Chain A
Amino acid sequence: MQIKVNGVERSFDGDPDLPLLWYLRDVLGLTGTKFGCGMALCGSCTVHQDGKAVRSCVTKVSATAGKEITTIEGISGNGLHVVQQKWIEYNVPQCGYCQPGQIMQAISLLKEKPKPSDEDIEAGMSGNICRCGTYQRIRAAIKAAAGESA
């Protein structure tokens, strides 16, 4: 089967049950996408499938045939995405491990809700756990990014 990852066509003939997460990490070496729970409970593995956030730990590679997958490595094109810029400006990360997933989720949220309210942000982001507890900076960075992309 064919799968497009960060704009590159790939052919896959591995175990059809292999989750996308492990294909990205162990096969393609795209380690920016993180393993946190394996059950879609924490959001660390969030990537985009056709521009929309999905949990790669419960998405089989075989289910992504013909779809376009974007990871944190492929989100910015040249330079940094505005969400990444705001993440840096607001000094969001502590350990940083969950942040690729947070950023991918936030970008997807802003696509759906360009001017998210606090409730929208809570609803959109509460599936992503940050054990360091950077939530208030995440909220501030998302609001700032919404302001800029307007």
Chain B
Amino acid sequence: MSHNILNVSRRGFLQGLVSTGALVLSVRLVPEALWAADTYAGSHADRATLHPSVFVGIDTDGTVYLVAARSEMGTSSRTTVPLILADELDADWKRVKIEQAIGDPRYGDQDTDGSHSVRDGFVTMREAGATARLMLTQAAAQKWGVPVSECESDLHVIVHRPSKRRAGYGELASAAAKLPVPKKEDLQFKPKSAWRYIGKGAKSYDLANLCTGKAGYGMDAHLDGMVYASIEHPPVLGGTVKSYDEKAPLQVRGVKQTIPIKPFTPPHHFQPLGGVAVIADNTWAAFQGRKKLNVSWVNGANAGYNSDPYKKELQETARKPGKVARNIGDVDAVFAKGGKIVEAEYYVPHLAHAPMEPPAALADYRDGKVTVWTCTQSPQAVQETVGEVLGIPKENVTCHVTLLGGGFGRKSKPDYAAEAAVLSKATGRPVKVVWSREDDIKFGYYHAVAAMYMKAALDEKGMPAAWLQRSVFPPIGSTFALNTTYGDGGDLGQGWTDLPFDLPNHRVENGPAENHVRIGWFRSVANIYHGFAAQSFANELAHASGRDSVEYLLQLIGPPRIVDVKASAPDYDNYGGSTTEYPLDTARMRRVVELAAEKAGWGKRTLGKGSGLGIAAHRSFLTYVATVVEVEVDDKGEVKIPSVHTAVDAGVVVNPEATRSQFEGAAVFGTSIVRSGAITAKDGVIEQSNFDDYPVARMNDAPYKTTVHIVDSDAPPAGVGEPGVPPFAPAVCNAIFAATGKRIRELPLSKNSTTA
């Protein structure tokens, strides 16, 4: 499909389609109540002749329309999830057209986050594909007057085995559409040996458009008659406008008006921050107009937020007993005995997502209804947020999902879409809100700053007889509920309570922290600071015991076994996955450690002065990852990363090429976290603003070569978008230690001296 869904002709086109009337479809897999008669959905898949599921439609010309209900932000989910359906349908991928779903509960959960698109889609897509394939097979059997059991699919055709008669999917679509939808228990799934696409993958459906400038992002949305808006937000969270100059911005050529935006009602959730919008006939004029607003602010309580004292506060809290999230045995009793005790503290700052496409949204408000085009990871959250902010039912909000120029969690929060809707209502015109890079860096939903305290008592063999770990961070829950200061089972289940080490006495704790900025999900979330502390500390203990890092890590993980985390950590949620389907299996953890070490030549390479290898292993989003990083540190302390080997066990991998890309990218994303990323506040105002003071990894900073080793697995599919990130920072820091003897306990590196 052309992704140029964004211009007015398309808008007319869609309306035209709806008015010409869709075919009357009797065959649907979801409850009738969910099919809002007046939704704007009207996709080709909906209207296709055979339409056995909301995710697929087959037309008489044989075109297969597959619906991508999740957002595409670079992880390939828009390609990979439909590919699963195409495989089970035995469809010819070349005859597939992918359509992007609008926000609509018929598609179930559309949140593209938490690395769960393939995990969620694996069963649903195969059921939809098998349903359509069975109906086509039944239609062919009926047509030929033969038993269904004698017919089977063969790439877009149904074949009658004995007579070798063949009928194409398009030819069978009308007859198949008249059949009842088969029961789930009658479906037959392809065996693994018959998979055409799963495990082989496909390049991005949008690849050519991405390379020719034709791909449509939220930033590119366009409607005739639209105006552009740029918003001066309160510099301190919760601040309000005291006064501003209404006239001066109008002196800028192209500026039309200024509009104050109502501040949010706490908790901020995804509501607009407030401030003053400048409306203009191009983006740049709106930016210029803002400079003349001269807003005077009332800053409020968060103006007391300063990163340096806050850091000390977090560190103090981390040294005190916290809320116990997991307990095995009695660490205090062991610590009381004395012996060899190792303690360490770690610190990770706030981070900003900084997707290359800053937030942007186009909204068109008419008569109590809004249509939004935006780069969002969650179109249903757009419907809900816009509905709440405007006081209209969410059903009156139609959200078209464009491609996303990166997301990393920022675009799960649709405050910018709500701003566009508010301004469209205020101006009576379609309004495109464009965030500048400065807006993006200064007004993010930041990754939580975190302090960790670790303590272990080592036995005579150097293994921990007791292990205490404590983390303190302002939780994401503070975005949704006031006075939330402790992490929940989800936050703490990210690389903390689920530490897969074989420890006789083990206590996991969490201390309280107040938020003073908006805190949000950031690629791999709490796993970043938890993984950094746990995997750095494991390496410190290996060194304290005079042991090889890999051998020690394997012994910490212990023998192959299933770890029942919940038995000692009642709030553990296993990323929402059942522990039967997705148990914490240390055999899989061991395997990735061994594989990464082997591929990196661990223990077999002679490294020069200033060079070192470091390892870290981390399970997140139900995927097991081990990463070995090679660093070269020169006399000035400059760190280069010549090679990275990452071993991944993500269960069944549908799209290996896209998976490799995700892990290559995670190494670069991890490089940004290690090297330079830090967001800090002074008097409540974020001090960074663009790529000069919030640098992210460039080609010359990035690992030269990342090699991804995918473990062949029949386990249910797990995540690939995020799990590459958590082990990267500790692997780099462990390598720096190996190379220089300098232990990095605070990120980013720029806060440390790495000279040997």
A residues with a Cβ closer than 8 A to B are 14-15, 18-19, 21-22, 25-27, 29-39, 41-42, 44, 71-73, 76, 80, 84, 87-88, 91-100, 103, 121-123, 125-139
| 10 chain-A/chain-B pairs, Cβ below 8 angstroms | A34-B219, A37-B691, A42-B437, A42-B691, A95-B404, A97-B355, A121-B699, A126-B700, A128-B699, A133-B668
A131 touches B354 (CB 8 A): yes
What is the CA–CA distance of A30 and B216 in the complex, to the nearest angstrom?
A: 11
B284 touches A22 (CB 8 A): yes
Nearest residue in B to A98 (C-beta to C-beta)?
Answer: B356
B204 touches A91 (CB 8 A): yes
B358 touches A35 (CB 8 A): yes
Q: What are the residues of chain A within 8 A of B204 when measuring CB–CB?
A: 91, 93
Partner of B213, one of A31, A122, A139: A31
**A31 in contact with B220 given A36-B356, A84-B212 (CB within 8 Å):** yes
Q: What are the residues of chain A within 8 A of B219 when measuring CB–CB?
A: 31, 34-35
Q: What are the residues of chain B within 8 A of A126 when measuring CB–CB?
A: 698-700
Q: What are the residues of chain A within 8 A of B691 when measuring CB–CB?
A: 37, 39, 41-42, 129
B282 touches A22 (CB 8 A): yes
Q: What are the residues of chain A within 8 A of B210 when measuring CB–CB?
A: 93, 96, 99
Nearest residue in A to B252 (C-beta to C-beta)?
Answer: A15
Q: What does DSSP make chain B's interface, helix, strand, loop or mixed?
A: loop
Q: What are the residues of chain A within 8 A of B208 when measuring CB–CB?
A: 80, 88
Residue B735 is within 8 A (CB to CB) of chain A in the complex: no
Partner of A132, one of B74, B254, B703: B74
Partner of A37, one of B220, B282, B437: B437
What is the CA–CA distance of A84 and B207 in the complex, to the nearest angstrom?
A: 10
Please give the distance in Å from B673's CB to the nearest CB on chain A: 12
Determine, out of B300-308, B657-665, B743-751, the stretch whose residues face the partner at the interface.
B657-665
Nearest residue in B to A139 (C-beta to C-beta)?
Answer: B699
Residue B13 is within 8 A (CB to CB) of chain A in the complex: no
Q: What are the residues of chain B within 8 A of A76 when measuring CB–CB?
A: 212
Please give the distance in Å from A128's CB to the nearest CB on chain B: 8
Please give the distance in Å from A59's CB to the nearest CB on chain B: 12
Partner of B285, one of A15, A87, A95, A132: A15
B437 touches A36 (CB 8 A): yes
| B222-239 CB contacts (< 8 Å) to partner A | 222, 228
Known: A95-B357, A128-B698. 8 other contacts (CB 8 A): A22-B284, A42-B356, A73-B213, A88-B207, A97-B406, A127-B698, A132-B406, A136-B705
Interface residues on B, range: 35 or more
**A91 in contact with B203 given A32-B212, A35-B434 (CB within 8 Å):** yes
Q: What are the residues of chain B within 8 A of A29 when measuring CB–CB?
A: 222
A39 touches B434 (CB 8 A): no
Partner of A133, one of B213, B436, B697, B704: B697
Q: What are the residues of chain B within 8 A of A87 when measuring CB–CB?
A: 211
B213 touches A94 (CB 8 A): no
Q: What does DSSP make chain A's interface, helix, strand, loop or mixed?
A: loop
What is the CA–CA distance of A56 and B246 in the complex, to the nearest angstrom?
A: 30
What is the CA–CA distance of A35 and B284 in the complex, to the nearest angstrom?
A: 11
Please give the distance in Å from B197's CB to the nearest CB on chain A: 16
Residue B696 is within 8 A (CB to CB) of chain A in the complex: yes
A96 touches B206 (CB 8 A): yes
Nearest residue in A to B203 (C-beta to C-beta)?
Answer: A91
Please give the distance in Å from A136's CB to the nearest CB on chain B: 6
B356 touches A80 (CB 8 A): no
Q: What are the residues of chain A within 8 A of B700 when measuring CB–CB?
A: 122-123, 126
Nearest residue in B to A87 (C-beta to C-beta)?
Answer: B211
The 9 closest A-B pairs by CB, nearest first: A32-B213, A133-B668, A97-B405, A95-B74, A96-B210, A94-B74, A72-B213, A133-B665, A31-B220
A26 touches B212 (CB 8 A): no
| B658-688 CB contacts (< 8 Å) to partner A | 661-662, 664-669, 671
Please give the distance in Å from B59's CB to the nearest CB on chain A: 28
Contact with A along B234-253 (1 / 0, CB 8 A): 00000000000000000001
What is the CA–CA distance of A121 and B702 in the complex, to the nearest angstrom?
A: 13
Nearest residue in A to B228 (C-beta to C-beta)?
Answer: A26
Q: What are the residues of chain A within 8 A of B404 when measuring CB–CB?
A: 95
Residue B124 is within 8 A (CB to CB) of chain A in the complex: no
Please give the distance in Å from B216's CB to the nearest CB on chain A: 8
**A84 in contact with B665 given A35-B219, A133-B697 (CB within 8 Å):** no
A34 touches B357 (CB 8 A): yes
Q: What are the residues of chain A within 8 A of B253 when measuring CB–CB?
A: 14-15
B207 touches A39 (CB 8 A): no
Nearest residue in A to B663 (C-beta to C-beta)?
Answer: A133
Nearest residue in A to B353 (C-beta to C-beta)?
Answer: A131
B282 touches A18 (CB 8 A): yes
Please give the distance in Å from A146's CB to the nearest CB on chain B: 16
Residue B328 is within 8 A (CB to CB) of chain A in the complex: no
Q: What are the residues of chain A within 8 A of B697 when measuring CB–CB?
A: 133, 135
Looking at B72, B284, B699, which has the most chain A CB atoms within 10 Å of its CB?
Answer: B699
What is the CA–CA distance of A137 and B253 in the complex, to the nearest angstrom?
A: 43
Nearest residue in A to B206 (C-beta to C-beta)?
Answer: A96
Q: What are the residues of chain B within 8 A of A39 when measuring CB–CB?
A: 437, 690-692
B220 touches A133 (CB 8 A): no
Partner of B356, one of A21, A25, A95, A121: A95
Nearest residue in A to B705 (C-beta to C-beta)?
Answer: A136
What is the CA–CA distance of A14 and B377 in the complex, to the nearest angstrom?
A: 36
Nearest residue in B to A32 (C-beta to C-beta)?
Answer: B213
Q: What are the residues of chain A within 8 A of B692 when measuring CB–CB?
A: 39, 41
Q: What are the residues of chain A within 8 A of B406 when measuring CB–CB?
A: 95, 97, 131-132
**A71 in contact with B213 given A34-B356, A97-B356, A121-B699 (CB within 8 Å):** yes
What is the CA–CA distance of A149 and B466 in the complex, to the nearest angstrom?
A: 63
A41 touches B699 (CB 8 A): no
Q: What are the residues of chain B within 8 A of A41 when measuring CB–CB?
A: 690-692
Please give the distance in Å from A22's CB to the nearest CB on chain B: 4
Q: What are the residues of chain A within 8 A of B703 when measuring CB–CB?
A: 136
**A93 in contact with B207 given A131-B355, A131-B408, A135-B699 (CB within 8 Å):** yes
Q: What are the residues of chain B within 8 A of A133 when measuring CB–CB?
A: 664-669, 671, 697, 702
Contact with A along B267-301 (1 / 0, CB 8 A): 00000000000000011110100000000000000
Please give the distance in Å from B225's CB to the nearest CB on chain A: 13
Contact with A along B506-520 (1 / 0, CB 8 A): 000000000000000
Q: What are the residues of chain B within 8 A of A96 when measuring CB–CB?
A: 74, 206, 209-211, 215, 403, 405
Q: What are the residues of chain B within 8 A of A93 when measuring CB–CB?
A: 74, 204, 207, 210-211
What is the CA–CA distance of A63 and B700 in the complex, to the nearest angstrom?
A: 31
Contact with A along B396-412 (1 / 0, CB 8 A): 00000001111110000
**A27 in contact with B282 given A95-B405, A135-B702, A136-B706 (CB within 8 Å):** yes
